[in-house]
Chains A and B, each alone.
Chain A
Amino acid sequence: MTEALTTLTRGVVRENPVWVQMLGLCPAMAVTTSVANGLGLAIATLFVLVGSNVVASAIPIPERARLPALVFIIASFTTTIVLILEAFAFTLYERIALYVQIIVTNCVILARADGYARNNPPHRALLDALGVGLGFAIALLALSALREVLGSGTLFAGMEHLFGEMAQDWEVRVLPEGARFPLALLPPGAFLIAGLAVAALTPIKRV
């Protein structure tokens, strides 16, 4: 039980893909202009990560053909989530379309599938993928919350594109109208805020 818990939490804190391993930075910076976008991509990535890791651990993969095989598995799950999002969350999908399709080249997924899932039983691969996926999601949510509050002064705007009607009034205004810092939403702001966040989290990394 404790072992399972360690497998799960390892990806969230000690080996957090974004903050500690600096993997999957591209989508983490690109879509985090609002919590809705960040959450959408985090869910999509979690889906692909869990799906491809379980499959990679369940079926035997010959050593020589492992990279093409893993890439093929990951691409299949990416295609699946693209089709699901196109069908059920089209407005959101349109905003982050490029980065959802780019999940296939997310180094986090290939690294976990090749480095862990392939040599471990499916239930361990599932826990590991869930942990890493949650770690990725938490990093994405933290960065997007920070950028949305600073850049637009709101939190949870546009969540209805992800959760439907019931999320209509989830939008919270954090800063007063007009008090906003648009740089946070622009590309330079993403780099600067990510740099400050990594600097702030440095002690955690050294534990």
Chain B
Amino acid sequence: MADLFSLWVGALLINNFVLVWFLGLCPFMGASTRLDNALAMGAATCFVLVLSAASSYLVYHYLLVPFGLTSFRIIAFILVVAFLVQLTELYVRHAHPLIHQTLGAYLPLVTSNCAVLGVALIALREQLGFIETLIYAFGAALGFWLVLLLFAAIRRQLEGADVPARFAGVPIALITAGFMSLAFMGFSGMGQ
């Protein structure tokens, strides 16, 4: 139990996917200009990320390993992710049209979020079990959502700030992310 908790906190804060592994930077930069966008993007990513980590685990251990196809894991995993994104989109569109209005535009983008594939690959490399993979993916997904929201909130403040012309836009966003990363390094004393 304590192991699972430290795994979860590790993925959430200590080895934060965006600020330490640099995974999922594109949506981190792209979807953080408005707070409600960040909320929707984070929700869509969280859902697909946990689902795809679990499915990738099952596909790898019950399909690729028995047939000796482990070299094709990248193709298999990315197809799993693309398939799940399509499936989720279909389901949400028909079952929850209201949610689809807010999330619809963000779901397809999740396919090209490297954090989604990254979690599946890291879970594989660390030889995590099924439950551990789920917990790890859940922590990573929440970590992504957390920093996305924090970053979106900071960027809203930045809009009103008097930034030197040369730094306006992307440069100041990168530097802000740098300081957030610095702050998150403080968590590294928490364990492991």
Residues of chain A at the chain B interface (Cβ within 8 Å): 22-23, 25-27, 29-30, 67-68, 71-72, 75-76, 78-79, 82-83, 97-98, 101-102, 104-107, 110, 186-192, 194-196, 198-200, 202
Q: Give the residues in chain B near A110, CB-CB below 8 Å.
A: 112
Interface size bucket, B side?
Answer: 35 or more
A196 to B177, CA, bound (A): 12
B1-31 interface code vs A (CB 8 A; 1 in, 0 out): 0000000000000000001111111100100
Contact of B26 among A104, A107, A194, A195 (CB under 8 A): A107
Contact A191 B75 (CB under 8 A): no
B84 at the interface (CB under 8 A from A): no
Contact B20 A75 (CB under 8 A): no
Q: Give the residues in chain A near B175, CB-CB below 8 Å.
A: 191-192, 195-196
Given contacts A187-B22, A200-B166, list 12 more A-B pairs with CB under 8 A. Answer: A25-B26, A26-B26, A72-B79, A105-B78, A105-B113, A107-B26, A188-B182, A191-B181, A195-B175, A195-B177, A198-B171, A202-B171
B91 at the interface (CB under 8 A from A): no
A195-B118 contact in complex given A22-B29, A79-B72, A79-B74, C-beta closer than 8 Å: no
Contact B177 A191 (CB under 8 A): yes
Contact A196 B111 (CB under 8 A): no
Contact B177 A75 (CB under 8 A): no
Interface on chain A toward B: helix, strand, loop, or mixed SS?
Answer: helix
Closest Cβ of chain A: how far from B78's Cβ, in Å? 5
- Indicate the member of A71, A75, A83 with the most B CB atoms within 10 Å: A75
Contact A195 B23 (CB under 8 A): no
In the complex, which residues 162-183 of chain B have their Cβ closer than 8 Å to any Cβ of chain A? 166-167, 170-175, 177-179, 181-182
Contact B74 A26 (CB under 8 A): no
Contact A188 B79 (CB under 8 A): no
Contact A71 B170 (CB under 8 A): no
A71 to B62, CA, bound (A): 23
Contact A30 B21 (CB under 8 A): yes
A198-B170 contact in complex given A25-B26, A188-B182, C-beta closer than 8 Å: yes
